[in-house]
Amino acid sequence: MKTVIYPGSFDPLTNGHVDVLERALALFDKVIITIAVNPAKQPLFTVEERLSMIREATSSLGNVAVDHFSGLVVDYAREQGACGIIRGLRALSDFEVEYQMALMNRDMEPDITTVFLMPHDRYTYLNSSMIREVASYGRDVSGFVPPIVSEYLKRKYSGD
């Protein structure tokens, strides 16, 4: 059974993340989509909010587990018995930092392979920070995120 992890901030989950997740599911037996908890970052959504959004948005997909972790991604991958780490590559701008991380991770854990997947062209410009910004001005982002995320954003920015 080939398990991979898909780590990220997912603050919040976008249709680009879901696209990459679906591609990973077509290749591997199980994907653990996992929130990297970074104490240095101040996220818009709590870990619990992000977990429940991801659970809801992925409930119709089989073989997905939803989790969170802190610490090194390779340590978490090992604990889960994963053979790989999924990362999405949108544009050249993602490449340099992803390349450095992948090589550092391979140096630490040679048996865990980083796999880069490219989303559909329509998602290549999409990122969570742009979604947060556009939604904060009351604009509709429902074309870019799963319905549950759209609801959470509306609630967050209407102050409820």
Q: Which is nearer to ligand ADP, 58 or 127 (CB)?
A: 127
Residues 120, 125, 130, 134, CA torsion sign: negative
User: Is 17 designated active site?
Assistant: yes
Q: In this chain, which of 5, 18, 20, 25 binds ligand ADP, going by CB under 6 A?
A: 20
User: Number of H helices and number of E strands within the chain?
Assistant: 6, 5
> Under 8 Å CB-to-CB from 20, ≥6 apart: which residues?
6, 86, 88, 117, 119
Q: Does residue 127 touch ligand ADP according to CB under 6 A?
A: yes
109 contributes a contact to ligand ADP by CB under 6 A? no
The dihedrals phi and psi of 55, each to the nearest 5 degrees, come to -60, -50
Select from 146, 147, 105 the least CA-distant residue to 4.
105
Q: Nearest CA to 149 among 16, 46, 54?
A: 54
Using the minimum distance from each CB to ligand ADP, give the nearer residue, 9 or 105: 9
30 vs 88, which CB is nearer to ligand ADP? 88
Q: Give the interface segment with ligand ADP, choosing from 16-24, 47-55, 103-111, 134-142 (CB under 6 A).
A: 16-24
Catalytic, 41? Answer yes
Which member of 94, 102, 115, 134 binds ligand ADP (CB under 6 A)?
94
Q: Which of 115, 67, 111, 113 minimizes the C-alpha distance to 88? A: 115
The number of residues that bind ligand ADP (CB under 6 A) is: 16
- Which of 23, 30, 90, 132 lies at the binding interface for ligand ADP (CB under 6 A)? 90
List the catalytic residues: 17, 41, 90, 128
